[in-house]
């Protein structure tokens, strides 16, 4: 009996020595509001490529469809180490404390994606430094789509058309409430992104601004019946990670996450812009699409200008604001 026990123990020791210690796998937790599949497969691809490049040492745990909460909660969870990164819009990015990024959401500022791209490239390094000071790293910038005015049972041509409508603004958005206040006679609701759908279905809101593709993905599109052809602004976002978490990783792992994340962002941008255009084409068929006249557009310009001037020096750093506005080169924004 003792001899058999000794043989067993020796065998276990030798087997363990040959097998070596078990290799630990690093798990990277990434959150997104996007549903699994479709265009969001880019996130899965990002994780797989990082895993391949690191020989399986890194695995991504992607929390889809708002499982980690709204964007404000995602940022908070990055601060506390509950998740490592997230794909967020401008509002999520602003939750880090870098409010200059909201410049890109100013309505009426950019007349094309090309103008926005030029401005974003020009101030990218400035913004990267600001995010680093707050403890975050931009892995790659992304696009969300071209914002359109959508509504139920009505067209919105003039600013005063919003009076008497059930409108809202996103929590954490300092721009839209000032637009409504400047128009006057409007009492908006504050909603989180995940609260929009139940408020649409109940009829508690009947006007929204959103990119067509996002409206489809979030199931908002089926509840509106009017859409303006005018682009109010171009919505963007980014893949962002906790700098503390990134810097805790071995250099090779960190480099793989950043390089493959940048590639994923570039791929995502080309996909999203195309998908957003396709979604808008579908909406023009299934909704009543209307085109504001030049005089309609001109009515909005002084409101957007007044709001932007109110935010310069409070929400926006004056130097960065002036730089972006100059690159936008939009006469209606001056």
Please, what are the domains in the chain? 25-333 (3.40.190.170)
Average pLDDT for residues 81-94, to the nearest whole number?
96
Q: Calculate the alpha carbon distances from 78 to 57, 62, 75, 92 in Å.
A: 22, 14, 5, 12
Q: What's the pLDDT at 329?
A: 82
Task: Identify the pLDDT of residue 330.
Answer: 73
65's tokens: 């469809």
Q: What is the pLDDT of residue 269?
A: 84
Task: Please state the rounded mean pLDDT for residues 110-139.
Answer: 96
Contacts of 134 (CB under 8 A, 6+ apart): 96, 97, 98
Radius of gyration in angstroms for the set of CA atoms belonging to the chain, rounded to a whole number: 24
Q: What percent of the chain has pLDDT over 70?
A: 91
**Over residues 180-200, mean pLDDT:** 95
pLDDT at site 124: 95
Residue 334 or residue 128, greater confidence: 128
pLDDT tens digits for 229-284?
999 999 999 999 999 999 999 999 999 999 999 998 888 888 899 999 999 999 99
Structure tokens of 178? 């000032």
> Where residue 134 falls among pLDDT bands split at 50, 70, 90?
very high
Query: What's residue 35's pLDDT?
Result: 85
Q: What is the pLDDT of residue 331?
A: 60
pLDDT over threshold 70, residue 129: yes
Under the banding of pLDDT at 50, 70 and 90, the label for residue 16 is very low
DSSP state of 106: -
Q: What residues contact 265, with CB distance under 8 A and at least 6 apart? A: 139, 140, 141, 142, 238, 239
Q: How confident is the model at residue 146 (pLDDT cuts 50, 70, 90)?
A: very high
* pLDDT reported for residue 242: 98
pTM of the model: 0.88
- As a whole number of angstroms, the distance between CA 185 and CA 234 comes to 27
What pLDDT sits at residue 304? 94
Say if residue 159's pLDDT is above 60: yes
What is the per-residue pLDDT for 3?
Answer: 47
**35 vs 205, more confident:** 205
H or E stretch including 31? strand 26-32
Q: pLDDT band at residue 41, thresholds of 50, 70 and 90? A: confident
């Amino acid at each position: 009996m003792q001899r058999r026990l000794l043989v067993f123990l020796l065998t276990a020791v030798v087997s363990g020595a040959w097998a070596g210690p078990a290799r630990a796998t690093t798990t990277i937790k990434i959150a997104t509001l996007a549903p699994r599949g479709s265009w969001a497969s880019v996130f899965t691809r990002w994780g797989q490529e990082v895993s391949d490049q690191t020989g399986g040492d890194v695995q991504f745990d992607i929390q889809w469809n708002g499982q980690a909460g709204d964007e404000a909660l995602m940022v908070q969870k990055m601060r506390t180490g509950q998740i490592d990164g997230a794909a967020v819009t401008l509002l999520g990015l602003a939750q880090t404390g870098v409010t200059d990024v909201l410049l890109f959401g100013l309505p009426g500022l950019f007349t094309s994606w090309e103008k926005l791209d030029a401005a974003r490239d020009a101030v990218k390094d400035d913004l990267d430094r600001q995010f680093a000071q707050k403890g975050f790293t931009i892995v790659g910038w992304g696009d969300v789509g071209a914002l359109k005015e959508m509504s139920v049972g009505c067209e919105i041509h003039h600013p005063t058309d919003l009076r008497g409508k059930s409108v809202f603004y996103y929590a954490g958005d300092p721009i839209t409430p000032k637009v409504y206040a400047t128009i006057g006679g409007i009492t908006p609701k504050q909603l989180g992104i995940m609260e929009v759908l139940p408020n649409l279905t109940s009829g508690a809101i009947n006007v929204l601004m959103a990119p067509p593709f996002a409206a489809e993905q979030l199931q908002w599109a089926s509840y509106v019946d009017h859409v303006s052809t005018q682009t109010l602004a171009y919505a963007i976002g980014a893949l962002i990670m906790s700098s503390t978490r990134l810097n805790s990783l071995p250099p090779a792992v960190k480099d793989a996450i950043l390089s493959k994340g940048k590639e994923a962002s570039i791929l995502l941008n080309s996909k999203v812009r195309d998908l957003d255009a396709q979604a808008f084409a579908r909406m023009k068929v299934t909704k009543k699409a209307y085109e504001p006249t030049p005089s309609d557009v001109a009515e909005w310009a002084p409101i957007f200008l007044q709001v932007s001037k109110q935010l310069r020096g409070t929400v926006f750093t004056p130097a960065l604001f002036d730089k972006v506005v100059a690159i936008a080169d939009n006469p209606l924004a001056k």
